[in-house]
Homo-oligomer: A and B are copies of this chain.
Amino acid sequence: MQPYALTIDKFLDHAAKWWGDREIVTAGAGRVGYETLRQRSNRLSGALTRLGLCTGDRVGTLAWNTQHHLEIYYAAMGGGFVCHTLNPRLTVAHLAAMVNEAEDRVLAVGAGLEDSAQTLLQHCPSIEVVVQLDDSPASLHMIAGKRVFTVETLLASYGAEARWGDFSEDAPAGLCYTSGTTGAPKGVLYTHRSNYLHTLRALQADAFALTAADSVLVAVPMFHANGWGFPFAAPAAGAKLVLPGRQTDGAWLATLIRDEGVTVAAGVQTVWQGLLDYLDATGADVPTLERVIIGGSTCPDALIERMEKRLCARVQTSWGMTELSPLGTIAPARGRARAIASGRPSVGLDLKLTDAAGATLPRQRNVTGHLKVKGASVVDRYFKAQAEALDAEGYFDTGDLATIDDAGNLTISGRTKDLIKSGGEWINPAEIEAIVGRLPGVGLVAVIGRNDPKWGERPILVVEPQKCHTLNERALLDALRGNVADWWIPDQVIQVAHMPLAPTGKIDKNRLRTEYAGA
């Protein structure tokens, strides 16, 4: 059969040819059809080449979800360069470490991020070219040795038609660092093949199920693991793409959904809580919305129920990781039953549960195990790492503990690195946190292990009360009795006014261990 490299420029080519008028809308800014966007992206590829970039060179982006960011995505990937998305919510020190390891030669900077970029650039000698996105007034100062353009001045002075896809499907296309709530951030280098196959897997009718009739709101940042793949999936399906820019508050999203006839929306649960609160407060509705794809963390049943009732939309829970491109499992797009846990894998992702030593559990249902995954869109080794991150059978260790029910639905039940070994046996902090987290007055909660001369480690409970609440420490522990083994019950309760958070919003357990556990 024909040689036909699986390169992601083909998605935009397809959209340009068959769905040329379908729009990419940026909230509060402009709109453009796929045909024009393809042409602009392609000419940006040509510009990057004329500026001296070579195949495989990295193009950093520090930007929100906008048309220009999407143009840079395809300009970089289509041209054979690597699109390295950076999370603007990280510290300059974190970002500089990533830019320098990646040796980015270009940095694309979104509206409102000029000041951060100005500081960042001082620490990033590899960057030669800065591209200001989003038609914001050119506010980046000239920096010695670096050339500064807007998208339009770059197109005007260097834009040139480029030959896209003239490389192997195994060529790198994207680079994204894991959030690194613990340990140093690690880069995942996506290939064209891995992104292409992820797209086809995610587009299945039991997963994203996008069609050309859909209008898709991507409320997940494009710097989070390929924006969950929507920047590829939408043009591949011919769907309209709705990009919210920087803002994702309830009022903003409700307006956008209504104005752009959004049928499918994707984002983390806090975004949808904001939307629900806004709708409840104003009595507004979002009648066009059919489905909400939710990921990033396990979604409580009560929120799913509230969403389905208030939005009159189906909720699809999911589980994924940067290392998986990112989709792992997802609840089906259609069907009568409400979403259960994080759903199932589409074909092309193999899962297994092992014990701590890596041996496959003889029973794979209704037991907790270490979750390992295999597939064409799963990392094999981190960027610039020496060693493979795979076991003997070629599986990647997610670092998650999980169970799979009889119907095949996955539930993440903890992180292996958070496990506490007490007296030679394992305690899973996530189970304790789930119970305490449901108690009245409890805000954020974390269980960490403290070194113990007798048991090795013992759990302690750190809790942040909700505003204007006082917690009874004994009551917190009493609530655990009968629900976990007695020896799982923490030795101490520590109340804190502010739980330390990592830049991604997750609880910073490393800092907790330093402060409270003598680690």
Contacts and interface: CB of A to CB of B under 8 A. Distances in A.
Nearest to A198: B1
A79 interface: no
A213 interface: yes
Interface in A1-45: 1-4, 6, 10-11, 13-14, 18-19
Interface in A367-383: 374-380
Contact of A193 (B1, B19, B344, B396): B1
Given A1-B377, A2-B375, A211-B334, 9 more contacts: A1-B325, A1-B379, A3-B394, A10-B347, A11-B347, A14-B350, A19-B408, A200-B200, A209-B209
Contacts of A191: 1
A177 to B, nearest CB: 16
Contacts of A350: 10, 13-14
26 contacts: A1-B194, A1-B376, A1-B377, A1-B379, A2-B374, A2-B378, A2-B394, A2-B396, A3-B380, A4-B348, A6-B197, A14-B350, A18-B344, A18-B345, A18-B408, A197-B200, A204-B237, A205-B209, A205-B211, A205-B333, A206-B211, A206-B212, A206-B238, A209-B209, A211-B333, A237-B347
A191 to B, nearest CB: 5
A488 interface: no
Nearest to A193: B1
A344 B238 CA distance: 11
A203 interface: yes
A314 to B, nearest CB: 13
A178 to B, nearest CB: 15
Centre residue among A2, A201, A348, A376 by max chain B CB count within 10 A: A2
Interface string A323-363: 00100000011110000000011011010000000000000
Complex A-B, nearest 8 residue pairs according to Cβ-Cβ distance, in ascending order:
A1-B194, A4-B376, A200-B200, A205-B209, A236-B347, A2-B380, A14-B347, A206-B211
A11 B348 CA distance: 8
Contacts of A190: 1
B2 A205 contact: no
Category for how many chain A residues contact B: 35 or more
A321 interface: no
A48 interface: no
A390 interface: yes
A430 interface: no
Contacts of A206: 211-212, 237-238
Contacts of A335: 211, 213
Contact of A212 (B2, B4, B332, B390): B332
A1 B380 contact: yes
A352 to B, nearest CB: 9
Nearest to A213: B335
Interface string A207-245: 011111100000000000000000000001110000000
Contact of A201 (B200, B210, B376): B200
A332 B1 contact: no
A348 B238 CA distance: 13
Contacts of A237: 204-206, 347
A136 B31 CA distance: 64
Interface in A151-201: 189-191, 193-194, 197, 200-201
A210 B204 CA distance: 8
A376 B6 contact: yes
Contacts of A201: 200
Contacts of A205: 203-205, 208-211, 237, 333
A87 to B, nearest CB: 21
Given A213-B334, A334-B213, A2 B376 contact: yes
A332 B213 contact: yes
Contacts of A212: 206, 332
Contacts of A3: 380, 394
Contacts of A14: 347-348, 350
Contacts of A333: 205, 211
